[in-house]
Structure 1
């Protein structure tokens, strides 16, 4: 499998990004019930939601569905999960996430022109890693989200009898 197969096309990216942005606003608003999603609830317990939502938000049914998918898929990599939450829920910029990531980074073995050395990654390296992690996370979430939306049973509409 080559790298091009691991990238979403524009239409796929915009579809999943659309839902993740609305889900992020929904989680940030405090509408997520704590027992429904343990990992997200623990993370969001540290954040004070805004009084009035200023971002477009999904409805509760969509929010709970997306939360279940995000919990299931992102449970594998907690660091990536926290980056996704920072980006989509708290609207933290990629640069700000990379800055925090750089500040907390410990020296590690890195390939360079002088060979392998143990050193702290540069800010540019941290930015590239954050971009790669977010791109991979969105790619990982696309298909499970699409399946979840497609397999969801439609809610029966209530007809008025007048």
Structure 2
């Protein structure tokens, strides 16, 4: 299972470094004057992965513009979720839930395309829930 936050963070670094050739807006709507990440040493995805994720981001833009703007503001420009929440006059919990939806959309898009990313070996997430056998072993040990 991919860690979609890590996937999108690497894609955002790649897109911010002008590797994509896609002209993402330098300032998301309503966030003019806030400083972006800059060109710090953020881990980037490779061009093939970046272009594939760009396609999914383009679909998101056509589907729900506000979610697209959240994605660009946070992952490409580097605006904190708390700052985005302040700008939208809502709680940061609300923004985090919206971001989860965005990450699910991109993950679903990649799954529908049956895509294996080059960065998959670096962005795998450990399963949170223990298997039934592990639970039985722990209960038996008590």
TM-score bracket relative to the smaller structure: 0.5 to 0.7
Aligned to 2:83: 96
Aligned to 1:21: 9
Secondary structure at the counterpart of residue 82 of structure 1: helix
Residues 1:140 and 2:105 are matched in the alignment: yes
Segment drifting more, 20-29 vs 134-143: 134-143
Aligned to 1:112: none
> Conserved in 2, the CA contact under 8 Å of 1:30 and 1:49?
no
Following TM superposition, by how much is the alpha carbon of 1:73 offset from its aligned partner in structure 2, in angstroms?
Answer: 2.7
Following TM superposition, by how much is the alpha carbon of 1:25 offset from its aligned partner in structure 2, in angstroms?
Answer: 0.1
- In structure 1, stretches of 5+ residues that fail to align are 1-10, 35-40, 103-124, 153-162
If asked which structure has higher relative contact order (CA below 8 Å, sep 6+), I would say 2
Aligned to 1:130: 95
Count how many residue pairs are aligned between Structure 1 and Structure 2. 111
Using structure 1 for the length normalisation, give the TM-score: 0.58
Aligned equivalent of 1:43, options 25, 36, 44: 25
Structure 1 consecutive aligned stretches of length 4 or more whose deviation exceeds 2 Å: 44-50, 125-129, 146-152
Structure 1 or 2: more strand by fraction = 1
Could you report, residue by residue, the CA deviation over 1:83-137 in whole angstroms, capped at 9, with x for unpaired residues? 11111112211101111112xxxxxxxxxxxxxxxxxxxxxx4323212211111
Q: Residues 111-126 of structure 1 correspond to what in structure 2 (within 5 A)?
A: 125-126=90-91
Could you report, residue by residue, the CA deviation over 1:113-162 in whole angstroms, capped at 9, with x for unpaired residues? xxxxxxxxxxxx4323212211111111112123446378xxxxxxxxxx
> Conserved in 2, the CA contact under 8 Å of 1:65 and 1:148?
no
Question: Structure 2: how far apart are the matches of 1:27 and 1:86?
Answer: 12
1:87–1:56 Cα change, 3 Å: same
1:42–1:139 Cα change, 3 Å: closer
Aligned to 1:69: 56
- In structure 2, stretches of 5+ residues that fail to align are 29-34, 118-142
